[in-house]
Homo-oligomer: A and B are copies of this chain.
Amino acid sequence: MLRPGGMEAGRDRDRIVNLSDGVFAIAITLLVLDIRVPDIPESMVAKELPAALISLWPKYLGYFLSFVGIAVFWTIHHSIFRPVRSYDRTLLYLNFLFLMVVAFVPFPTSLLGEYGDHQLPVAIYAATLGVGRLLLTAIHWYSTRRDDQLLEEAQDPATVRFFLIRGLTIPAIFLLSIVISFFSVGAAVWTWFVMIAIDAVVVHRRFR
């Protein structure tokens, strides 16, 4: 039986990881359902289809953004769970909270694809991904704090600190993008792209 605070090992960890991967895979694949084929009368197709498909561009953007977002989440989740050997109820609950956000992503994505030039959908999208990232940071922080019980071996403190700072900066930038969205919706969306690029450069430099 699963005991609160009790430690479980090996195969148990695998089942948590498998369930998480299932949610990742489904959330990432459901995104496409939001891109609907335009409805055009047969006689107008040749003339109107190109423009109709181009006008779906906010949907393609949403697909791309959320795919990248969930892929980044998966990569970080993968890194965090690599050294995990056992788990307790807190880790399990934090992971479920995180998965609740991942599985929710298709809704703000759909909202962004429909009303992406308005402030509220942009803010909701930033808030969803920011909270998801924050929960990942919480899972990481919790697992390293109890590393003697949860992890295979203690992690390098400098690396842990680096990932903690990174894991707090990203949600802070999402928060900043919400503030920016009140002034310019387009600028807020650009903030995310700049953030992804800078993050990639920083991580690359750190581990050269």
Using CB atoms and an 8 Å cutoff, list the residues of chain A in contact with chain B: 1-6, 8, 12, 15, 17-19, 21-33, 35, 37, 40, 45-46, 49-50, 53, 63-64, 67, 71, 74-75, 78-79, 82, 92, 96, 99-100, 103-104, 106-107, 110-111, 114-115, 118-121, 124, 155, 159, 163, 203-204, 207-208
Contacts and interface: CB of A to CB of B under 8 A. Distances in A.
Given A3-B207, A4-B204, A27-B29, 8 more contacts: A15-B17, A19-B21, A22-B24, A23-B28, A30-B30, A53-B124, A64-B100, A71-B96
A204 to B, nearest CB: 5
Given A1-B159, A63-B104, A79-B2, A29 B30 contact: yes
B104 A12 contact: no
Given A28-B99, A49-B118, A2 B92 contact: no
10 contacts: A1-B79, A1-B159, A15-B17, A22-B22, A23-B29, A25-B26, A32-B104, A37-B111, A49-B118, A67-B96
A82 B5 CA distance: 17
Contacts of A63: 104
**How would you classify the secondary structure of chain A's contact residues: helix, strand, loop or mixed?**
helix
A30 B28 contact: no
Contact of A163 (B1, B6, B107): B1
* Number of chain copies forming the complex: 4
Contact of A4 (B32, B159, B208): B208
B120 A92 contact: no
A19 to B, nearest CB: 5
A200 B5 CA distance: 13
B207 A6 contact: yes
A141 to B, nearest CB: 14
Contacts of A207: 1, 3-6
